[in-house]
Amino acid sequence: MTVSLTRVSHQLPVSFDVLRNDAEANGYRHMSRFAAEFDGTPAMFHAIFAAYVEGNLAGLGAITDEPPPMSAPAWRMRRLYVHRQFRRRGAARAIALALIQEAASKVRMATVNAGNDDAAGFWEQIGFFRVNGKGWTHETQDLNIGARSGMGA
């Protein structure tokens, strides 16, 4: 099973509502927040990637600036969601590594706020470390993860 990635730039994927509805049925509203942010301030996103499995939209993720105050610029992983039907097939990993690769030449740190224990485990598995007392739950300063994982050029 192959996961293919597409950069999202001017409009959300055609089947975005299927992904949003799955997220909401699963108790998550961040796809709705993502759509509102994309409609209102699309320039806030440095990159957005959609993952497809067998031609179906499997997931979506984005990266933005980490809000100040920061001692050095950092980017935050945002709004990563994979449809329940396509989980454990590599879509989340492909999206995350592509976003990290995007950040690698621009900032020294990427952050994420893991919303639950499964998400925390996912981020730790790909090289993020749990942190306390910050506005995020995990961070990495090793932005070459994507290149080492075969995602880089």
The encoded tokens of residue 150 equal 């075969």
Element (H, E) at 20: helix 16-25
In a domain, 55, yes or no: yes
Q: What predicted TM-score, i.e. pTM, was given to this entire model?
A: 0.89
Name the domain count of the chain: 1
Buried b / exposed e over 131-148, threshold 16 CB at 10 Å, is eeeeebbbbbeebebbee
Q: Has residue 22 been placed in a domain?
A: yes
Residue 76 lies in a domain: yes
Helix (H, G, I), strand (E, B) or coil at 139: strand
Each residue's pLDDT tens digit, 92-151 = 999 999 999 999 989 989 999 998 899 999 999 999 999 998 889 999 987 876 555 554
Question: Is residue 34 within 8 Å of 16, Cβ to Cβ?
Answer: no
- Strand, coil or helix: what is 102? helix
Q: What is the pLDDT of residues 24-69, one digit of tens each?
A: 999 999 899 999 999 999 999 999 999 999 999 999 999 999 887 6
Q: Tell me which residue range forms the domain holding 25.
A: 3-148
CATH number at residue 20: 3.40.630.30
Answer yes or no: is 131 within a domain: yes
Query: Is 153 inside a domain boundary?
Result: no
Q: Which two tokens stand for residue 105?
A: 């030449």
